[in-house]
Amino acid sequence: MTLSRRQFIQTLGISTAGLLLPTLNGSLLAKEPYAATDTFIVPPLDYGQRNGNHVTFNLNLQRGKSHILPGFTTPTLGINSNYLGPVLRAKRGDTVSINVQNNIGEESTLHWHGFTLPATMDGGPHQRIANGSTWNAKFQIRQPASTLWYHSHEFHKTGEQVYKGMAGLFYVDDETSDQLAIPSDYGIDDLPVVIQDRAFTADGEFRYASMMPEKMHGMHGDTILVNGVITPTLQARKTLLRLRLLNGSNARIYNLGFNDNRSFYHIAGDCSFLASPVSMNRLILAPGERAEVLVDVSDRKRITLKSYKGAIKSSGSGMMGMMMGRMGFDREFDIMQIDARQAETSPYAIPRSLIRPIRLNPNEAVRTRPMEMSMGMMGMGGMGMMGGMMRGRRGGNGGGGFTINGQSMDINRIDFSVQRNTSEIWEVSNTSPLPHPFHVHNTQFQILGRNGKAAKAHESGLNDTVLVNPNEVVRILVPFRYYSDSKRPYMYHCHNLEHEDQGMMGQFTVV
Ligand code: C2O
Ligand code: CU
Ligand code: CU
């Protein structure tokens, strides 16, 4: 008896999946979300202590107990708080001095995601903060108004520490953003929306990447938190809302939209405003990415912000598709409700334009650099993958598992250096079957195109993270300005935090 090619692939697919999914029968990972609990919470806003252009922030990394599930307490991490941190806020031109005191009982770091800054202030895996000690980060803000964020970047433990709550937003204002006729009343019509998915154990603790597939795909939870609250309801105070969305999840990619399919207006990406609002009704947001959107609720309805299926474009192999579907990596969720029945009329309308278009010049690039993300042992099935991942975890450079340009992260290896005051074109490709959000420190880049096609209008501003789907090549123009250091590196990595922790990361210096 001979097997047809298709039967053979099916058999192979099932047995390989069997290796990967020993404990999985569809029930554990694809649980129904916990029910919505509460009202929308606005995190505290922290302007620091200002002295002219010098602003000092005091942050305490702490352990806490949070009430997330009704009737349970969840041990969490937070910054000046039980879970997550305050929204820090400063202006372009300010010199910020941030004291970070670590009291979580283990080593940590705090990284300023999206900032251009000296390498020693970056808060990456080299700026370790021992338990009980304080680290000071001081740098001048030299970039446009944007919604940035900060989070733990502890080597091999970023995923776990961020998952438990070590993250917060950082708003940068500038002269232009101060002039825009858009909602800007914090907590009233200008709202931070940190979206995260979490899984819980039976006794209400966060359950973190305890299973093999969660290490490979990254940790996906079954319950959505917004600013630490399960699928909350926002009582809209105004009829035009500005939502500053952060995908603060470890691995989940969202396909956001409203249940009545209304349009919303994309006004800012990761690191800048767009030239003009882009109307859309679905937005893919990958881990690490931010988007500011305006939502018109002048019809005073109750609406639901949802995430729809279709967030993940896998390479179409039967096994991956099956795993994703069964395991809930690509599924529909309610994110939050907006109840606009009591909203007052907003003084603002959707603006026609926002800022002067930002155009970095690709002709100024001094070179083109390939960046190939791959999961080397994938093709060999589960056991090979496991071997590769174990090498990645030890931080070796065995070439298996999660790699960029064939190398797994080694904290003692600088992968390359770039010249200060130049820019480069990076050709970011993905030869693995899973999507990877690619992030670079110390820069705000421009997306030139995907697979030869121009970037989409809503990604035309400055960004620090870009989603690269299987078989895609994304060209980005990456400038290196202001700061150089021949020894201390910056990171580039996949912002799926489990992939990052298992080695899909590299280091470069700016000289
Ligand atoms: Cu948001 Cu290197 O990280
Ligand atoms: Cu970063
Ligand atoms: Cu990845």
Per-residue pLDDT of the chain (511 residues; tens, 9 = 90+): 333 333 333 333 333 333 344 334 344 455 666 666 689 999 999 999 999 999 999 999 999 999 999 999 999 999 999 999 999 999 999 999 999 999 999 999 999 999 999 999 999 999 999 999 999 999 999 999 999 999 999 999 999 999 999 999 999 999 999 999 999 999 999 999 999 999 999 999 999 988 888 899 999 999 999 999 999 999 999 999 999 999 999 999 999 999 999 999 999 999 999 999 999 999 999 999 999 999 999 999 999 999 999 888 765 555 665 566 556 788 999 999 999 999 999 999 999 999 999 989 999 999 999 999 999 765 433 434 444 444 444 433 333 599 999 999 999 999 999 999 999 999 999 999 999 999 999 999 999 999 999 999 999 999 999 999 999 999 999 999 999 999 999 999 999 999 999 999 999 999 9
Which pTM does this prediction carry?
Answer: 0.90
The finding on whether 242 has its CB within 6 A of some atom of ligand 1 is: no
The finding on whether 157 has its CB within 6 A of some atom of ligand 1 is: no
Coil/strand/helix, residue 320: helix
* Ligand 1 atom at minimum distance from 492 CA: 2
Proximal ligand: closest to the CA of 124: 1
How far apart are the C-alpha atoms of 434 and 456, rounded to whole Å? Answer: 21
Proximal ligand: closest to the CA of 218: 3
- Comparing CA positions, the residue from 397, 398, 401 lying closest to residue 382 is 401
The finding on whether 441 has its CB within 6 A of some atom of ligand 1 is: yes
Domains of the chain in sequence order:
5-25+183-339 (2.60.40.420), 45-179 (2.60.40.420), 362-510 (2.60.40.420)
**Residues, the chain, total?**
511
The residue whose CA is least distant from atom 3 of ligand 1 is 113
Distance 439 CA to ligand 2 centre (A): 7
Distance 165 CA to ligand 1 centre (A): 15
DSSP 8-state symbol, 129: B
Residue 505 has φ and ψ, to the nearest 5°, of -155, 150
* Ligand 1 atom at minimum distance from 441 CA: 2
Distance 43 CA to ligand 1 centre (A): 21
The finding on whether 111 has its CB within 6 A of some atom of ligand 1 is: yes
DSSP bridge pairs for 194:
246
Residue 37 has φ and ψ, to the nearest 5°, of -105, -55
How far apart are the C-alpha atoms of 399 and 415, rounded to whole Å? Answer: 14
How far apart are the C-alpha atoms of 33 and 285, rounded to whole Å? Answer: 20
Six token digits for residue 102? 């670590």
Contacting residues for 471 by C-beta, under 8 A, at least 6 apart: 315, 430, 431
Contacting residues for 34 by C-beta, under 8 A, at least 6 apart: 69, 200, 222, 223, 230
Under a CB-based contact definition with an 8 Å cutoff, are residues 49 and 55 in contact? Answer: yes
The finding on whether 493 has its CB within 6 A of some atom of ligand 1 is: yes
Bridge-based pairing state of the strands 453-454 and 445-450: antiparallel
Six token digits for residue 286? 């990958």
The finding on whether 450 has its CB within 6 A of some atom of ligand 1 is: no
**According to the model, what pLDDT value does residue 314 have?**
64
**According to the model, what pLDDT value does residue 323 have?**
62
Six token digits for residue 279? 């109307």
* Ligand 1 atom at minimum distance from 491 CA: 2
* Ligand 1 atom at minimum distance from 500 CA: 2
The finding on whether 126 has its CB within 6 A of some atom of ligand 1 is: no
**According to the model, what pLDDT value does residue 117 have?**
98
DSSP bridge pairs for 192:
244
The finding on whether 153 has its CB within 6 A of some atom of ligand 1 is: yes
Bridge-based pairing state of the strands 422-430 and 473-480: antiparallel
Coil/strand/helix, residue 346: coil
Proximal ligand: closest to the CA of 504: 3
Distance 249 CA to ligand 3 centre (A): 13
